Structure 1
Amino acid sequence: MSRKRGIDSMMGRIILAVGFVLAGCVHLIAPQVYLKIVPPYLPAHLSIVYISGVAEILGGLGLLVASTRQAAAWGLIALLIAVLPANIYMATAHLDAPGIMGQSWAQWLRVPLQLPLIYWAWLYTRTR
């Protein structure tokens, strides 16, 4: 792997990791933001929000450590798939949300955005 490609890969991994860690922190600091998007058919909404937040933090941190990178990337892929119902519920129920996320088009945009995030995490499932 060329030096530039390695730096690009490292920067992408750091950006993805920081994004997940920050999102996970918001789950823990302001769970009410996420509580309303947990589909009503699921139990223990607060626990789900906290567990997904911790999973995001651990997955993000795991991307930064060579020995855990591959497992963390697969874990984040599983998490992104697991939260897809919340994104679909948010879009179909047209939930009231602050700012741009209160717009129906923005809520629908979250659904297909899972795919590039899954692909981005998948890039780090391969050993180098």
Structure 2
Amino acid sequence: MSLRWSPKATHTLSVIGLSALLMASAMKHFRTPSFYNPVVPEYLCRNDEPGGAPNGPLAVMSREEWIASSGLLEVTAAVGLLIPATRKVAADGTTAMFAAFLAGHIDALRRAYGPYGSQKERRIHTLRLPLQIPLILWSWSLRK
């Protein structure tokens, strides 16, 4: 008996793989939110401290709220990918989410190479930014 591998099986395995990765990342948002602190741009973070810098027009949530919200988005995307009826919409949304995350990774890289960035931050963010491209392409490929 030969085992035949079909394109559908490959697609299903790919969906499960990205879904698992998204779920693991989402759980990390809640277990270790500080891991994501550097990739939330300052211009998105509301400043609630008295006498602090004024909030910009995009500063609608605190850093912690942005991290929790993105974790919830990842859970939603992970579940949506697993349901055939919502897979295309979830894949589109996941692609858009990863593309939007590019802004945070670019901002983190900019700060890492700024006057207060460390060598460790430079290494981490130099490696983290290019990882977004395969994630964007992977999620886009699941639209079928």
TM-score range, shorter chain: 0.7 to 0.9
Q: Is residue 88 of structure 2 the alignment partner of residue 70 of structure 1?
A: yes
Paired letter, 1:22? A
Match of 2:109 in 1: 91
Match of 2:50 in 1: none
CA distance in 2, matches of 1:121, 1:86: 19
CA distance in 2, matches of 1:3, 1:68: 25
Contact kept, 8 Å, 1:38 with 1:45, in 2: the verdict is yes
Specify which of 36, 40, 43 is matched with residue 42 of structure 2. Answer: 40
Contact kept, 8 Å, 1:37 with 1:86, in 2: the verdict is yes
Paired letter, 2:37? L
1:17-62 CA distance string (max 9 Å, x none): 1000110111122212212331111122111111100101110111
CA distance in 1, matches of 2:25, 2:7: 27
Paired letter, 2:14? G
Paired letter, 2:29? H
Alpha-carbon deviation of 1:66? 0.4
Alpha-carbon deviation of 1:109? 2.4
Match of 1:99 in 2: none
3-state DSSP of counterpart to 1:41:
helix
Match of 2:57 in 1: none
Q: Which runs of 4+ in 1 moved over 6 A?
A: none
TM-score by length of 2: 0.75
Amino-acid identity (%) = 28
3-state DSSP of counterpart to 2:142:
coil
CA distance in 2, matches of 1:23, 1:83: 13
TM-score by length of 1: 0.84
Ranges in structure 1 where 5+ consecutive residues have no aligned partner: 97-101
Q: Is residue 86 of structure 2 the alignment partner of residue 79 of structure 1?
A: no
Bigger Cα Rg: 2
3-state DSSP of counterpart to 2:20:
helix
3-state DSSP of counterpart to 1:125:
coil
Paired letter, 1:83? F
**What is the number of equivalent residue pairs in this alignment?**
121
Ranges in structure 2 where 5+ consecutive residues have no aligned partner: 46-61
Match of 2:17 in 1: 15
What is the root-mean-square deviation of aligned Cα atoms in Å? 2.0
Q: Is residue 124 of structure 2 the alignment partner of residue 122 of structure 1?
A: no
